[in-house]
Copies of this chain bind each other. A is one copy, B any other.
Amino acid sequence: MKVVSAIKRVPEEIQLRLQTRFPEATFVFCHGMGEAKDSLEEADVFITYGEDLDKEKIQTAKKLKWIMVLSAGMDRMPFGEIAKRDILITNVRGIHAQPMAEYAISMLLQVSRKAKTLLEQEKNEEWNRRPVMQEISGKTMVLLGTGAIPQEVARLAKAFHMRTVGVSKSGKIRPYFDKVVPVNQLDLVLPSGDFVVAALPSTPETEGLLLEEHFNKMAAHTIFLNMGRGDLVSSEVILNAVRDGEIAHAVLDVFEEEPLPEGHPFWREENITVTPHLSGISPHYVPRGFDIFEENLAVFLSGEGELKNMIDPKRGY
């Protein structure tokens, strides 16, 4: 039984732990796909970020029974070939929830508490207590999406005594939400949001979902935050909403075009904060991914229990 990993820089501690716990398996830790592809022919299990996997590589890996994808996005997966061969496929869905929820709370605090202004004052050695800061506690947060990531944001929002309103396809109530409405009631809940937080994946339904009319519905003091996908709303709509004072501030981690090019008007707009698609980045990413892998490997080898985060290659999620 051979496990091949294409993940770069897997901490030695994790490598040792796996080899000790599963002596029946041989582990080959490679530094990226360039190195891993020579071992693919022998691999029963393959660990990958997914973006470097194509049909040819799947065909080379004749013994392959399970692909563990250390990512949540599965856009580039050769699902046809995987389905044909009945290869199991799992991912690390949910792994982004914690860093992304921290990102959201962190950025809402940063904007509400005037961090930009205070850091500027510090640079000027200026003792000035007049900038008017807002608390985030007790506010209302409208969340677009109610999956693992928005749920973790809502959990932290509740710790800050916020009211949490979710918007989802089904409108089904979820933990940490005071209320969830279906997407056709989006208009009705937007005006109540001191914060409107979007953490939606890119699907045909979410592409271009937010329009000018939605920003018109928001309160003038609303902080809008998008950490899902950039195609949720056009740059022009956001820019106009901020410039016309329809909302107070936009925090953007995702964009129609990434990297956001130098010279894009977002960079210099006072009431837009740009971060370079980093909400999901965490120093704990690889360890957390391998924790899920380790649980799944125990199931895979013993045949007992159920694999976590199984993907249906026919549906792609």
Contacts and interface: CB of A to CB of B under 8 A. Distances in A.
Given A113-B106, A267-B125, A283-B134, A118 B156 contact: no
A220 interface: no
A213 interface: no
Given A102-B113, A156-B159, A276 B128 contact: yes
Contacts of A281: 129, 133
B276 A135 contact: no
Given A115-B110, A122-B267, A122-B274, A283 B133 contact: yes
Interface in A100-159: 102-103, 105-106, 109-110, 113, 115-116, 118-119, 121-122, 125-129, 132-138, 155-156, 159
Interface stretch (A193-201, A256-264, A300-308): A256-264
A106 B134 CA distance: 12
Contacts of A116: 119
Contacts of A138: 284
A102 B267 contact: no
A156 B102 CA distance: 12
A115 B113 contact: no
Contacts of A258: 127
**Number of copies of this chain in the oligomer?**
2
A22 interface: no
Nearest to A116: B119
B102 A136 contact: yes
A253 B166 CA distance: 36
Nearest to A275: B118
Interface in A8-43: none
Interface string A272-295: 011111100111100000000000
Contacts of A105: 105, 109
A250 to B, nearest CB: 13
B283 A127 contact: no
B260 A102 contact: no
Given A106-B109, A159-B156, A159-B159, A278 B133 contact: yes
A313 interface: no
A234 interface: no
Contact of A129 (B98, B263, B278): B278
Nearest to A108: B106
Given A125-B263, A127-B260, A159-B159, A109 B102 contact: yes
Interface of A: 98-99, 102-103, 105-106, 109-110, 113, 115-116, 118-119, 121-122, 125-129, 132-138, 155-156, 159-160, 258-260, 262-264, 267-268, 273-278, 281-284
18 contacts: A98-B135, A99-B135, A102-B109, A102-B137, A106-B106, A106-B109, A106-B113, A109-B109, A110-B115, A116-B119, A119-B119, A121-B276, A125-B267, A125-B268, A129-B277, A129-B281, A133-B282, A135-B282
